[in-house]
Structure 1
Amino acid sequence: MASLCVFVVRETDDGDELQVGKTVTVSVNGKKMSAKTDENGSAFFDVPDEREVEVSCDGASESVSIEGDTADITLYLD
Structure 2
Amino acid sequence: MWPHFEPGKSEVRVDKVLVKGEGAVIIGHFTQLVTRTGKKLSTLLVMHLRIQEGEVICLHLYEDTLEIARTFDMGARGPQ
Pairwise same-fold verdict (TM > 0.5): no
Higher helix share: 2
Shorter-chain TM range is 0.3 to 0.5
Of structures 1 and 2, the larger Rg is shown by: 2
Higher strand share: 1
TM-score (norm 1): 0.32
Higher relative contact order (CA 8 A, sep 6+): 1
TM-score (norm 2): 0.32
